[in-house]
């Protein structure tokens, strides 16, 4: 796991983090978390879903990973409304499943709370664990990733997002936080 602080002038563009190297660390961590033959992957739209899709392939798992949307369970739904993002798709039975939820960046914990509510709308899993590419701290809820490839200190005035190019190569982008 890597811990880093970005340069104080980083206000846009790419953060000095190797997203591909962190992905390889996430792959190692998720592999160690898996139960043979029974673990299912579900990624949070969109960055977590990209990670789940690539992990599913790199781990040689059959079928497609799940995609979890936080839209319907957000505590700021009144301000954000419905987005044009992905909808929840779970191509496996949630009841009794061992599920690893994947996200690109863990920050306040509010998105994780929302997707857990969404997941339980589909059934009762045996276990749910969280793995993230980057944990940036700043938690507002008691949420903890069982595995984080890196921990990054970033000011609250900046957001960190995973991006991918046409070839599926990951990179991070830092943006100023938009005022509501």
**Pairwise CA distance, residues 26 & 21, whole Å:** 9
Which tokens sit at 86? 């992905």
Place of tokens 């929302």: 114
**Pairwise CA distance, residues 32 & 147, whole Å:** 10
Tens digit of pLDDT for each residue in 90-134? 999 999 999 999 999 999 999 999 999 999 999 999 999 999 999
Bigger pLDDT: 77 vs 163: 163
**Pairwise CA distance, residues 147 & 156, whole Å:** 22
The pLDDT-based confidence of 37 (bands split at 50, 70, 90) is: confident
pLDDT at site 4 = 52
> Residue 43: pLDDT above 90?
yes
pLDDT at site 108 = 93
**Pairwise CA distance, residues 152 & 154, whole Å:** 6
Residue 89 exposure: Cα atoms within 13 Å on the Cβ side: 13
Question: What is the architecture, at CATH level 2, of domain 20-77+85-157?
Answer: 3-Layer(aba) Sandwich (3.40)
Question: Contact, 43 vs 31, CB < 8 A?
Answer: no
Report the predicted TM-score, pTM, of the whole model to 2 decimal places: 0.87
pLDDT at site 36 = 80
**Pairwise CA distance, residues 6 & 4, whole Å:** 7
């Amino acid at each position: 796991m890597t811990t880093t602080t970005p340069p104080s002038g980083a206000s846009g563009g790419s953060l000095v983090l190797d997203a591909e190297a962190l992905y390889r660390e996430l792959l190692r961590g998720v592999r160690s978390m898996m139960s043979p033959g029974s673990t299912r992957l579900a990624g949070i739209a969109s960055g977590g879903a990209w990670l789940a899709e690539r992990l599913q392939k790199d781990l040689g798992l059959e079928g497609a990973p799940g995609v979890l949307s936080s839209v319907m369970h957000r505590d700021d739904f009144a301000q954000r409304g419905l987005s044009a993002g992905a909808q929840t798709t779970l191509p496996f039975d949630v009841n009794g499943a061992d599920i690893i939820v994947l996200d690109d960046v863990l920050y306040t914990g509010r998105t994780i709370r929302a997707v857990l509510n969404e997941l339980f709308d589909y059934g009762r899993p045996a276990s749910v664990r969280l793995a993230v590419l980057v944990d940036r701290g700043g938690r507002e809820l008691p949420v903890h990733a069982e595995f984080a490839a890196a921990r990054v200190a970033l000011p609250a005035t900046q957001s960190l997002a995973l991006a991918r190019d046409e070839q599926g190569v990951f990179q991070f982008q830092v943006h100023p936080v938009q005022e509501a």
